[in-house]
Amino acid sequence: MNYKMIFKVLGYLLLIIAVSMIPPFLISLFKEQYDMIAFAISIVLTFSIGFILTRIKLENTNTKIKAKEGLVIVTLGWIFASIFGALPFYISGSIPSYVDAFFETVSGFTTTGATIINDIEVLPMGILFWRSFTHWIGGMGILVVAVAVLPMMGAGGFHVFKAESPGPIADKIVPRIKDTAKILYATYIIISILEFILLLFGGMTPFESIVHTFGTLGTGGFSTRNGSIGAFNSSYIFIVISIFMIMSGANFSLYYDLYKGKWRDVIKNSELKLYLSIIAISVFLITLDTNFHLYHNLFNAFKHSLFQVSSIITTTGYTTFDYEKWSSFSKSILFLLMFVGGSAGSTGGSIKVIRILALLKLVKRELTKIIHPRAIVSVKFGNKPVSEDTLLNISSFFMLYMLIFILGTVIISFENISFISAASAVAATLGNIGPGFEFVGPTHTYSNFSDFSKILLSFLMLLGRLELFTVIALLTPKFWKREL
């Protein structure tokens, strides 16, 4: 294991985190708010430790990043980012408990959006900006920035990119992984700018527009209002954010295909078709149900249904209405959507549509084999056959995901809360969604959980964002054995 390389890369990551704290510091400085000193201390401390780590000298014969190093860099990178990213919350006193500050930061970087803050509107602007900026950074990936800007990553950057990328397959858009990272971030920035401008037209202030753009594109869900997006009471804003949540839950490589004129490839993409179909069917069913039982106004039923379905399936977690008031039928659909998530290569979390599609195709193949025992049936995405190793990985991921969900629910149940509350809390953190039902519903926070449960839920958020295997591999003794 090349520990020197690992800590050197982590040093550069801390420098990136320190630089990322400068915008909220400048906002606090301009507004002369009390969090200004906290950001200054956090920047100096994070930058200093990062700088020290970057001074580690590497041996000329040992500068490559292998698969093992990639896993360690990504896992420790997210932990380091959360530890240091929590400093402004804690030092400023905005979140007096460091466990709570760590929970909030993990929730931010993993784009979960679960919060322990009961009154968001009393927080200073710098803290609010940093809180949502962590969504935007974590949405595309903390280490993707390092892959894009650090020459030292080289070809080994693919191992880092692969370990951090959401989905079972980490495809390179172009041959060089560094250029792929740049294209993804360029796409991310362009779409962010577009949403920011459209939200300005909806009556949001520039600060509100940029904060909610961070929350939407990163599919995180932190807001500046206690009532989330519903506080703006604007159909225009509801629809705009719904559209951009859906866009953020799609594979970002498809936007590059559109740019290159590959319209047919995008239209024929089986994952995209299933993703949009699930959204359309869910919106249709919930619209009919809520219109009959609650709204008695088709447009109101549609806009709230579209928004909440888009928010849950993309794991964003914004709300326009207390969906706890919906019928059991509509809430059941939302709960099931928690286990679907966005597409591979998106900023969304949970299991991912591509895995759901693969599992459906596997079921179809097994049924075909029962009917035609001698038939040789391959699973394909488009016209490309999927390898048995990939299918095994997807099946293993699903089983492990459900096992962690069950164990997590049992452990959280010791908080003496209802089964629905415990199950939705685990589903919402493991799937990086944020709000759940009952005890953790859209009008509640995670503040009443014990410190133990908050740490456990923080671990689940990291597990979900890093797709289980990246973190769990490090917990096995065999991983750390020296290679012969």
Residues annotated as binding site for K(+)?
111-112, 220, 315-316, 432
- For residue 344, the 8-state DSSP code is T
The structure tokens listed for 3 are 């520990």
Quote the tokens at residue 298. 């088709």
Cα torsion angle, 350, 353, 358, 362, sign: positive
Contact 170, 162 (CB under 8 A): yes
Strand partners, 380: 385
CA angle, residues 204, 206, 211, in degrees to nearest 5: 85
In order of 286, 297, 330, 413, the CA distances from 294 in angstroms are 11, 9, 11, 32
419 Cβ contact partners less than 8 Å away, ≥ 6 residues apart: 409, 413
Which residues sit in the known binding site? 111-112, 220, 315-316, 432
Task: Tell me the H-state helices in 221-297.
Answer: 235-248, 253-259, 263-268, 270-290
Tokens 């040093």 belong to 11
**Are 146 and 170 within 8 A, CB to CB?**
no
Q: Angle, to 10 degrees, between the axis of helix 67-85 and the axis of helix 36-54?
A: 160
Distances (CA, A) of 205 to 129, 157, 201, 224: 13, 39, 9, 11
Chain Cα centroid distance, residue 71: 18
With contact defined as beta carbons under 8 Å apart, do 62 and 5 qualify? yes
Would you say 303 and 235 are in contact if contact means Cβ atoms under 8 Å apart? Answer: yes
Instruction: Report d(CA 437, CA 424) in Å as an integer.
Output: 6
CB of 342 within 8 A of CB of 352? yes
Residues 6+ apart with CB under 8 A from 447: 100, 116, 117, 118
**Rounded Cα–Cα distance for residues 110 and 113 (Å):** 8
- Which residue is listed with tokens 């709204």? 295
